Amino acid sequence: METRIAGATREVIIGDERPTVLIGERINATARKSIAEAARTGNWEVVRREAVAQVQAGADIIDINMNVFGADEVALLPAAVRAVMDAVDVPLCLDSTNPRALDAALKVCKGRPLINSVTGEESSLKGILPLVKQYGAAVIGLTQDEAGVAGNADTRMAVARKIIERARSVGIPPEHVVIDCLALSLGADPASAQATLEAIRRVKADLGVNLTLGASNVSFGLPDRKALDRTFLSICMAAGVNCPIVDAAAVRQTVLAADLILGRDKRARRYIGVYRERAKR
Amino acid sequence: METRIAGATREVIIGDERPTVLIGERINATARKSIAEAARTGNWEVVRREAVAQVQAGADIIDINMNVFGADEVALLPAAVRAVMDAVDVPLCLDSTNPRALDAALKVCKGRPLINSVTGEESSLKGILPLVKQYGAAVIGLTQDEAGVAGNADTRMAVARKIIERARSVGIPPEHVVIDCLALSLGADPASAQATLEAIRRVKADLGVNLTLGASNVSFGLPDRKALDRTFLSICMAAGVNCPIVDAAAVRQTVLAADLILGRDKRARRYIGVYRERAKR
């Protein structure tokens, strides 16, 4: 199954036979104070620079989260989309749960963006899916619902199936739905990574859709986060994740290695090519 | 299934619910000139120091290969075994295809060592298995036979089954056979890693035995070998490898991370414990 995401001029195809697509996570006002501050003060140059840096580091799609406490996301999200489109031509991932902010951003966003995200909750399905359909976008479905983040693989699988079915019922094909099986902090619950891995394998085997993952939650609160993040990402890629949300600069080398090992980089062209580019700098 | 390997005073248990066991690869005269030179000149201090360094870096078992061109392995292997036993008390892995050298080494080796290795070839089965039985040792079975290293997972699986059956027929139980599905160079054949991975998954699912792997062959001839090695090792551990042959210092952090992710380190005690020890130094 192939998911096609597009910017103004560039298309990115997510699929199991292809190199892994990296969604750059760093323009995130919820997670990063410097981005929240830039958004609040209208300093879009910070956002533009962050977009360029991520694309140079290997990001294929740029996630934009403008959920700034006390500020108006309906105004900020389209403004940030414009800023990023000024700086780079890769496709965007609009990161919001607010239908009005998404609608405003979709109006100005060129190409076919990814919307991040819908959940299995009724209010989310009703608020987000009509926008996905209206703008011909693709959407990330989180495997959580009214009961919270499902603890085991069975319930995560059931939520994924529900989201895909509901999307289909409003005219959104399964290839426009990318599932996130949700990585939780290993520090809070050491068994959580296994539930995530099992959910990934089952969603891939039974539903065949493309899979994203915010892979850096897993190391929250633990020492040596980089080793944990890259190891977890390697294992999740082997299990079926093919468009993770990541800090591209931190994980690019791991992703290139995993793609080579998993047969997504025939003749090692990308692996060797990127190494040569780096050696030149 | 649990494989128990022992030194003079220390026992190591290999099993899927347990932390991954690391077999230290660095006392290898075939692969390393400094070790061959030390063996040739009888400078066993070099070998002792290498043993201590590997155990400090996290090796649970020490592999010893004394296949030195032009020298007498039948004399060298037991001498090296004595040197390593002088320095450390971990179990040993006697790395030779020469039954006479193995017999001489087994005579002096305390505990229950691992023999590295037997293959599916008639001459190897006939030469090695009687020694394994006689000394109550365990053995690594390589999935290759007269036809060479099998290209696909089916034939590797058949060779693994053959070795386990032949061992059983001479009184060696399956838990004393550890299978190596063989990692080849990705540079020579980019599809080879997938065949290795599929073989690992199938041997684990169908035969249930413990699995080793010489995981650093995979990066031979490619740039940034460390990134490739640790990524491959992570993925192979998730597939079922639980006692790889490695440079412990290079991969320890990856192995600790993977064990935590794969549920082999309850409450993150080892992961955090080793981090604290390192921070103290």
Residues of B in contact with A275 (CB under 8 A): 223-224
Within 13 A of B208's CA, how many CA atoms are on the CB side? 5
Burial class (CB in 10 A: 0-12, 13-18, 19+), A4: middle
Spell out a b/e string for A157-172, using b for 16 or more CB atoms within 10 Å of the CB, else e.
Answer: bebbbbbbebbeeeeb
Q: Which of B190, B235, B267 sits opposite A190 (nearest CB)?
A: B267
- Reference B166, options B177, B155, B157, B156; nearest CA is B177
Cβ distance A272 to B194 less than 8 Å, yes or no, reads: no
**pLDDT score of B101:** 98
Q: A245 pLDDT band (50/70/90 cuts)?
A: very high
Instruction: Give the pTM.
Output: 0.95
Give per-residue pLDDT as tens, A84-113: 999 999 999 999 999 999 999 999 999 999
Give per-residue pLDDT as tens, B184-235: 998 888 888 999 999 999 999 999 999 999 988 899 999 999 999 999 999 9
Q: Which residue has the tokens 């090792």?
A: B233
Contacts of B267 (CB under 8 A, 6+ apart): A190
Cβ distance A235 to B262 less than 8 Å, yes or no, reads: yes
Give per-residue pLDDT as tens, A189-198: 888 899 999 9
* Helix residue ranges per DSSP H, A208-247: 225-239
Q: How many C-beta atoms lie closer than 10 Å to residue B280's C-beta?
A: 6
Compute the distance between CA of residue A253 and CA of residue A127 in angstroms, rounded to an integer: 38
Q: Which residue has the tokens 């192995």?
A: B255
Question: Above pLDDT 90, what percent of chain A?
Answer: 88
**What backbone torsions phi and psi does residue B33 show, to the nearest 5 degrees?**
-60, -40
Position A150 pLDDT exceeds 70: no
Burial class (CB in 10 A: 0-12, 13-18, 19+), B61: buried
Q: Please tell me whether the peptide bond between A234 and the residue prior to it is cis, using omega within 30 degrees of 0.
A: no
Positive or negative torsion for Cα B197, B65, B258, A229: negative
Cβ distance A261 to B186 less than 8 Å, yes or no, reads: yes
Contacts of B128 (CB under 8 A, 6+ apart): B97, B99, B102, B115, B117, B118, B139
DSSP annotation of A111 reads S
Residues of B in contact with A266 (CB under 8 A): 190
For residue A266, give both structure tokens: 């025939």
Within 13 A of B74's CA, how many CA atoms are on the CB side? 4
Compute the distance between CA of residue A7 and CA of residue A10 in angstroms, rounded to an integer: 5
What CATH number is attached to the domain comprising B144? 3.20.20.20
**pLDDT score of B150:** 65
Q: Which of A190, A194, A257 sits opposite B228 (nearest CB)?
A: A257
Question: Looking at beta carbons, which pairs linking A214-217 to residues 24 or more positions away fall under 8 Å?
Answer: A214/A25, A214/A180, A214/A182, A214/A183, A214/A244, A214/A245, A215/A183, A215/A241, A215/A244, A215/A245, A215/A246, A215/A251, A216/A25, A216/A246, A216/A247, A217/A183, A217/A184, A217/A185
Positive or negative torsion for Cα A14, A17, A18, A24: positive
Chain A residue nearest residue B279, CA to CA:
A223
Residues of A in contact with B266 (CB under 8 A): 190
Which residues of chain A are at the B interface, by a Cβ-Cβ cutoff of 8 Å?
A: 186-187, 190-191, 193-194, 197, 218, 222-224, 227-228, 230-232, 234-235, 237-239, 253-254, 256-258, 260-263, 265-268, 271-272, 275, 279
At B12 the three-state DSSP class reads strand
Please count the structural domains in chain B: 1
**pLDDT score of A276:** 87
Compute the distance between CA of residue B181 and CA of residue B244 in angstroms, rounded to an integer: 11
The complex scores an ipTM of 0.92
Cβ distance B263 to A194 less than 8 Å, yes or no, reads: yes
Compute the distance between CA of residue A73 and CA of residue A79 in angstroms, rounded to an integer: 10
**What is the least distance, in Å, from the CA of B122 to any CA of chain A?**
32
Low-confidence residues in chain B, pLDDT < 70: 150
Q: Give the domain range for residue B123.
A: 2-280
CB A265 within 8 A of CB A271: yes
Pairing of strands A177-180, A3-6: unpaired
**What is the least distance, in Å, from the CA of B9 to any CA of chain A?**
32
Which of B222, B225, B231, B252 to mutate to test binding with chain A, by most A CBs within 10 Å of its CB? B231
**pLDDT score of A201:** 97
Q: A215 pLDDT band (50/70/90 cuts)?
A: confident
Spell out a b/e string for A10-44, using b for 16 or more CB atoms within 10 Å of the CB, else e.
Answer: eebebbbebbbbbbbbbbbbeeeeebbebbeeeeb
CB pairs under 8 A between A and B: 112
At A245 the three-state DSSP class reads strand
Compute the distance between CA of residue B160 and CA of residue B194 in angstroms, rounded to an integer: 17
